[in-house]
Amino acid sequence: MNVKISYTVPFDSVPDTITELMRQSSNNLETTGAKLKMNAFDEHEETPLQKMKRIDEVRKELSTIDLLLEDCYTILAGYIVTGK
């Protein structure tokens, strides 16, 4: 289960905070991509059920990355409107 957590940063640090969140998303995406590649070409025998479980784990990780990027997008939209 995911929960939203909010915190306050100074207005001027919003771009730096977004950059850090995007860096985190990028790192997570690289890690998840490597895991997917490793799982896709894994040579040892797996049952279809085991493979499904590993696929589901990657999908959940990708969903978490997507949610973080959605938060970045929403924060930046508010930042742009407020900054005008």
**Strand positions, DSSP E, the chain:** none
Residue 3's pLDDT is 85
Q: How many CB atoms lie within 10 A of CB 40?
A: 11
Q: Which of 58, 64, 57, 61 is nearest to 21 (CA)?
A: 64
pLDDT at 43: 67
Residue recorded with tokens 């991509």? 33
Q: Which residue positions in the chain have pLDDT lower than 70? A: 43, 84
d(C-alpha 53, C-alpha 50), whole Å: 5
